[in-house]
Amino acid sequence: KAGVTQTPRYLIKTRGQQVTLSCSPISGHRSVSWYQQTPGQGLQFLFEYFSETQRNKGNFPGRFSGRQFSNSRSEMNVSTLELGDSALYLCASSSDLSGRAGTQYFGPGTRLTVL
């Protein structure tokens, strides 16, 4: 099976702009989660989607949003970019059978730089 894919791999934006990142999960996986990695805060949970519904959300401002499509692919959007949004954004997918905790498999990430 192909792994989790994320596009684009690298992105440079300026403050105030918005950005959309895309994630395709492992085939058959219905749960998609997003994480932000920064040198100061480490890996932090953004939100998780299952069957097009957001089930959980981390402690991030409303500028961070996401959605999931019927084919389980997911996008996350960051509006009004700030310098502090520069980070590696990681997507992970899980089979999450019957609501049980499942292993999350990560994609390679999107490196966002905000100038």
Partner 1 sequence: DQQVKQNSPSLSVQEGRISILNCDYTNSMFDYFLWYKKYPAEGPTFLISISSIKDKNEDGRFTVFLNKSAKHLSLHIVPSQPGDSAVYFCAAHWRSALNFGKGTSLLVTP
- Token digits of residue 35: 């994480």
Cα(46)–Cα(61) distance, integer angstroms: 10
Region for 39 from its dihedrals, namely left if φ exceeds 0, alpha if ψ lies in -120 to 50, beta otherwise: alpha
Q: Which range touches partner 1 (CB under 8 A), out of 11-19, 36-44, 61-69, 76-84?
A: 36-44
Closer residue to partner 1 (CB): 70 or 103: 103
Q: Phi and psi (nearest 5°) for 98?
A: 50, 35
Residue 104 near partner 1 by CB under 8 A: yes
Residue 60 near partner 1 by CB under 8 A: no
- Token digits of residue 93: 């997918």
List of residues contacting partner 1 (CB under 8 A): 4, 31, 33, 35, 42-45, 48, 50, 55-56, 58, 88, 90, 92, 96, 101, 103-109, 111
